[in-house]
Structure 1
């Protein structure tokens, strides 16, 4: 477990640095433009490269040295961050430039995450995968907690200082990868199992692999819909809170929400998730939907501080269960290609949700929930009218859809019995001794 711990620690530092950058730039964009749509476009730019490059990244992760791929990706992601820092320092930074630099950083990130995900089953035995995938969610919990530090750093280091700090974390993560000794077979697919030699052949292999396992296809579809609804909530949470509070309060509430996320990661790490991972994912999706809908009741800091941690507590368990199913049921030497194909849907959900949520909020729900708006006498009588209440109504709808998704998933036999229908693709033996770093 020591090699995994060293790799994970380095990546955790990098994730926190990137989260700080994401927070301060999101605040900057919203304060400069006052537009949810502009904010959503930056979010979309962070995920569109994943749609286009995920299949290729999966093929590369199954073919190339995964350690080297992660190191190259770390440095490639640092370059756009340095460009943004230079533009801000010289007073030339504009919102449209963030679309381009964010897309470049995301492109490097998809290769990095593909290599990281496929390496894990070779670093730890099967019985620990649920706990390890819970530990993965610590990265997201720390990212959610980063806004508190980001709010402090904005008043001390300013935006360019936070960007320079992010650059340092990229270097730290790459250095950790360079010095760690990894078990035999962790960095490259086993010879003879890498599948067809052509890139197109590898993509076709992934299609055929999933076609023979329809339960995995249903799980991909469930995860994509979950990601779509979560993307709505993620892009709308900042304007929802900023409608009745300050950026400092936003940072504090995101920290409180992050505490719930962190508690969920600790629970998943200690517990490993339920024995039946698919059922656990469906159950906690329903619980999260209820908590998300409760965000809409009132423009209250106290309310958000209570329900946001509950919703975010469920997220590591849902994601951890899904990740464990894939790592357990998909051969590790094909994991990059198969999950690369799946990520097309998973990552398409995020920009699609962001692109839809912004115009819905700006053009339909917010005007409808103003005093005298079309919904002021109906939904407005329950949720209130004014700035942010249209977004609150959207939260109620999203929460209800998550509950319906959980119920529908529990009625699908292919999904519900996936773990019984498919044999495990990995054994529970310990990884071999580490090989020297090269």
Structure 2
């Protein structure tokens, strides 16, 4: 656990630095181009490289020295943003440079996470896996809570150059923590088998490992559905909330969401998730579905703030419980490959959401609930008409569909009993 805490703390500091840099660069792109499309392209560039790199990440995560792979990935991501800093200092920075650096940083990040997830199960006793994953969610929660406010303050005081220097300092700190720890080797690393296997074959190994175990496969499919709705809601929440409130209030609502995520992280790390972690998945995903439905019902700041708070509160409990199930049920020798497949499918779910969210809102749902729209006289009498109400209807439908998916999954014995039917690969 001592090694894990050192590893986690280094990544937490690095995550905060990267979050501040990402916030600063996204504002720089938006102010330089005044284009929402250019601004949104940064989100796509954080997903596409990770999807492409996932097969390589899974293969290397099970065949290479995982500590060296994590160090290499951190160095690559750090150098990507260092190049941005140099171009900015000499006055040659252009928007396409940021696209390239963002894509490169995303690729290096994707390269390390399967190995990282596999390392956790080698360091942490099984009874503490949920807590360990909860600590990783803490970094995301803190970033969600303080990055917008702190990033805005730092941009005014030390400007973007100072933010990039600060990110460089956090990168060096993270690298030092990695150099201080020694990580256990997996069994695969001492075998000489299959070193010439192709990446696509390793990806198939990870995929077949999941599909041969119906409980794990259904768990993954349920999370793909969940993340698709999460991605759609993430894209459309800003236009939905700005249809009835100001940007200042929106910022407060997002900070409320960050505080909910922080509280959820505190709950799961102190509680530990209990013995039946699959029930955490069912109940807190159900809460997320109810929050989507709640946010779409009325254009009300208080109602939507409650929905945002509860949704983000459920998120770290969900993710930590799912990760702990996978880490305790997947054999060490293939964990990185399985986590790579898992990450690739989830990123595809997000990418699909980003591609269809705008089309669904602009061309399908918003026209339905204009003042004289086709549903103005029926659904419109319940949830209202005008700007944002079509998106509200989409939120309600997504909430209902997610609840249906959860109930259907609960009725599947293979998923409901996944922790009982699959052997635990970690000994106490």
TM-score of the superposition, structure 1-length normalised?
Answer: 0.87
Cα distance between partner residues in 1 of 2:85 and 2:102: 13
Segments of structure 1 that go 5 or more residues without pairing to the other structure are 429-438
Secondary structure in 1 matching 2:190: coil
Cα displacement (A) at 1:106: 0.9
Q: Say which structure, 1 or 2, has more relative contact order (CA 8 Å, 6+ apart).
A: 1
Q: How does 1:161-176 map to 2 (within 5 A)?
A: 161-176=162-177
Partner residue in 1 for 2:195: 197
Partner residue in 1 for 2:289: 289
Partner residue in 1 for 2:154: 153
Q: How many residues align?
A: 424
Partner residue in 2 for 1:212: 212
Q: How does 1:314-393 map to 2 (within 5 A)?
A: 314-393=314-393
Cα displacement (A) at 1:322: 1.0
Cα distance between partner residues in 1 of 2:249 and 2:107: 32
CA contact (8 A) 2:119 2:183 kept: no
Cα displacement (A) at 1:312: 0.8
Secondary structure in 2 matching 1:294: helix
Cα distance between partner residues in 2 of 1:97 and 1:239: 28
CA contact (8 A) 2:65 2:189 kept: no
CA contact (8 A) 1:40 1:355 kept: no
CA contact (8 A) 1:361 1:391 kept: yes
CA contact (8 A) 2:141 2:258 kept: yes
Question: Is 2:248 aligned against 1:221?
Answer: no
Partner residue in 2 for 1:436: none
| Comparing 165-174 and 102-111, the one that deviates more | 165-174
Cα distance between partner residues in 1 of 2:50 and 2:321: 22
Q: How does 1:56-205 map to 2 (within 5 A)?
A: 56-85=56-85, 90=91, 93-94=94-95, 98-145=98-145, 146-179=147-180, 181-185=181-185, 189-192=188-191, 196-200=194-198, 201-205=201-205
Change (3 A) 1:386 1:211: closer
Partner residue in 2 for 1:238: 238
| Comparing 14-23 and 276-285, the one that deviates more | 14-23
Cα displacement (A) at 1:78: 2.3
Segments of structure 2 that go 5 or more residues without pairing to the other structure are none
Cα displacement (A) at 1:395: 2.1
Change (3 A) 1:32 1:360: farther
Measured on the aligned residues, the alpha-carbon RMSD in Å equals 2.7
Cα displacement (A) at 1:332: 1.8
| Comparing 23-32 and 251-260, the one that deviates more | 23-32
Secondary structure in 1 matching 2:263: helix
Give CA-to-partner distance per residue, 1:333-382, whole Å, 9 cap, x none.
22001221222212211111111112323443344444444444444433
| Comparing 376-385 and 129-138, the one that deviates more | 376-385
Change (3 A) 1:361 1:208: closer
CA contact (8 A) 1:36 1:362 kept: no
Change (3 A) 1:401 1:373: same
Cα distance between partner residues in 2 of 1:61 and 1:355: 30
Secondary structure in 1 matching 2:338: helix
TM-score of the superposition, structure 2-length normalised?
Answer: 0.89
Cα distance between partner residues in 1 of 2:53 and 2:78: 19
Cα distance between partner residues in 2 of 1:88 and 1:38: 19
Give CA-to-partner distance per residue, 1:52-93, whole Å, 9 cap, x none.
211210111111122221122112112332344456663854
Cα displacement (A) at 1:119: 0.7
Change (3 A) 1:422 1:80: same
Cα distance between partner residues in 1 of 2:208 and 2:79: 37
